[in-house]
Chain A
């Protein structure tokens, strides 16, 4: 018992020291002019700017919080829509051959095109309002959901299906009571990928065509040569992404606890 705890404490200690050195060096580099203040802002400046931007709209037109909300709402709605449509679609495609044969070709054509590549045409056709961005996020989140749900069903153990057959289960019952629970692991993997994709596509979309949002904020930061704003934006984006992934992990533990022991 002592050995295990000792290791953990040592690990933790090293990690903290590592972080301190990292931030310390960063601060030092900017303060002493090793790195120009135009290219990089010291951590202390970043923190200051973050606190300031919580209430100030200058210089890019909105507070951090407003930017965040805009981005968050957009990402979440596109994501949710993609999951609601994508997961069942994938599940059905995995189980019903007719559906598979019909949808797969369409899918295989759309899939290799990265969501970002959709941005120009969507902007031209739908403008730069909410609908356009939601569509792009939907496209990027949609694909992993479908693929992973599909694979999840396909990978259901044939033995499990046969056991259900011996109990006289109907096709539909096998689908809902055997295949779907068995594929939850992959479904969640797909949803997780989806979340990451939505979030990063959102940032891209906002960088290219927006007047609000975290992506827009970091673009402005560059134009105004304010690396502190850029970094505040980057870290906010990063933390939100990590936090959402964490929440998803919690949900997964609730819904499919048998996967974790």
Chain B
């Protein structure tokens, strides 16, 4: 058994060691003869390059913005329609029996699998990409909202009934506030999923955006560009998750035991 002091020092060392190992493995892979993998240095300079020099009339920040904008537009629609649908599924038994099977039929189809059909329908403009993101974010929101509504503590509903609330009042005063944490969880999943969908859609057909950029890199063998894009995509993804978690803490303070 190591002494506590030594053990602690080791614990600080390990994360550093792991990142170092990652870098070393990367450099080794890149340094192989004829390897297509770019070195960290090459990646960094390519990153700086694309920050300044545009491809397809846009520099990297603009491409990121183009992708994000598509996600955000689709997202607003997905939240409005998704929450409404999820609430209706969970609150109204008749509606649920009637419409849910159709939803269940379409649900297992991965959003990416919709791309060919959507392109056939809407061509290769902005709308098809936004529509794909919509499909990808819509599903998790509906599912989470539905799940949230159906798992409300029945005692809270009972108490509301005892206080004289009618069905509509129960929906707005009890059910919806109680479901907000679940809706937010759905939104988190949906945003991540939406981001992936936009990349996928852009990889298949686009003139701008991060997905387009990564395919450009592939077509021109510009691996440094590909890796740059991969890292950028990852960073944006992480930032989205982070922001949403913060938002969750603000909107649902009672969930996290915040005291005044």
Which positions 196-241 of chain B face chain A at CB distance < 8 Å?
A: 196, 199-200, 203-204, 214-215, 217-218, 221, 223, 226-227, 229-231, 233-235, 237-238, 241
Shortest C-beta distance, A68 to chain B (Å), equals 14
Q: How far is the CA of A119 from the CA of B229 in the complex (A)?
A: 12
Which positions 1-57 of chain A face chain B at CB distance < 8 Å?
A: 7, 10-12, 14-15, 17-19, 22, 38-40
CB pair A105 B18 closer than 8 Å? yes
Q: How far is the CA of A235 from the CA of B104 in the complex (A)?
A: 12
Shortest C-beta distance, A128 to chain B (Å), equals 11
Interface segment among B106-114, B151-159, B162-170: the answer is B106-114
CB pair A120 B97 closer than 8 Å? no
Q: How far is the CA of A118 from the CA of B200 in the complex (A)?
A: 11
CB contacts between A and B, total, < 8 Å: 163
A221: chain B residues at CB < 8 Å are 116
Q: How far is the CA of A234 from the CA of B106 in the complex (A)?
A: 9
B94 within 8 A of A: yes
CB pair A106 B19 closer than 8 Å? yes
B36 within 8 A of A: yes
B106: chain A residues at CB < 8 Å are 238
CB pair A235 B120 closer than 8 Å? no
Q: B17, B93, B111, B116: which contacts A230 (Cβ < 8 A)?
A: B116
Q: B15, B36, B230, B241: which contacts A105 (Cβ < 8 A)?
A: B15
Q: State whether A109 and B204 are in contact (beta carbons under 8 Å apart), knowing that A120-B214, A233-B113 are contacts in the complex.
A: no
A110: chain B residues at CB < 8 Å are 234
CB pair A219 B94 closer than 8 Å? no
Interface size class of B (residues with CB under 8 A): 35 or more
B257 within 8 A of A: no
CB pair A207 B14 closer than 8 Å? no
Q: State whether A121 and B101 are in contact (beta carbons under 8 Å apart), knowing that A199-B110, A235-B109, A241-B108 are contacts in the complex.
A: no
Judged by DSSP, the binding face of B is: helix
B230: chain A residues at CB < 8 Å are 113, 117-118, 121
* Residue ID in chain B nearest A218 by CB atoms: B116
B99 within 8 A of A: yes
B17: chain A residues at CB < 8 Å are 102
* B residues whose Cβ falls under 8 Å from a Cβ of A: 10-11, 14-15, 17-19, 21-22, 35-37, 93-94, 97-102, 105-117, 119-121, 195-196, 199-200, 203-204, 214-215, 217-218, 221, 223, 226-227, 229-231, 233-235, 237-238, 241
* A residues whose Cβ falls under 8 Å from a Cβ of B: 7, 10-12, 14-15, 17-19, 22, 38-40, 97-98, 101-106, 109-114, 116-121, 123-125, 196, 199-200, 203-204, 207-208, 215, 218-219, 221-222, 225, 227, 230-231, 233-235, 237-239, 241-242, 245
